[in-house]
Amino acid sequence: MLVFSLIIVYNKSILTKKKEYIMSNFKYKSFEEISKEFQDCKTVFDKLDYAKQLKKDAYDYVLDLDLDKLIIRLQNQIIINH
């Protein structure tokens, strides 16, 4: 039982440190900033990379965006055009 408790405490501390690291490097962007940066992307590949980065940074939850559909649409556009 003691070993199990130590494992839980250890895993919780790792997750907490990881969360603090992620949140310390996080810079919030408004919807307008995201829209402008997305429009500034020149190619479909750049837009796809940007959308994946937004998904990684959890902007779909922060701003209630549907990034999954956007990523699928951009991937389909790449497949159709190439």
Predicted confidence (pLDDT) per residue in 34-66, tens digit: 999 999 999 999 999 999 998 888 888 878 888
Q: 58: left (phi > 0), else alpha (psi -120 to 50), else beta?
A: left
Neighbours of 48 (CB within 10 A): 18
User: Is there a contact between 60 and 66 (Cβ–Cβ < 8 Å)?
Assistant: yes
For the question of whether the overall pTM of this predicted structure is more than 0.85, the answer is: no
Per-domain residue ranges of the chain? 2-81
The better pLDDT of the pair 37, 12 is held by 37
